[in-house]
Amino acid sequence: MFDVIVSIVMLAAAFLIGGGIKLLRRGEPQRGMLMLLLAFVMVANVAIWVIPDDDGGIPLRDAAAENQR
């Protein structure tokens, strides 16, 4: 389930980047930059979720495994 959520978030970020660039080209800088900022925040969150910690575990997956016990 974790992989599906991460994949959906990354797809949404990719669409936001495309939409943001399209809006910037149309001459709507405020909306375009907000979309690009949201995409950056989403990618940063995914990076926090999937970058291994010092023990080699993925923080969000480890937390989910502890809750199932």
Q: pLDDT tens, 35-67?
A: 999 999 999 999 988 888 777 777 766 666 776
Q: How far apart are CA 38 and CA 40, in angstroms?
A: 5
Q: Please give the radius of gyration of the chain, using alpha carbons only, rounded to the nearest integer.
A: 16
pTM of the model: 0.76
Domain count, the chain: 1
**Amino acid identity for residue 47 in this structure:** A
Domain that residue 50 falls in: 2-68
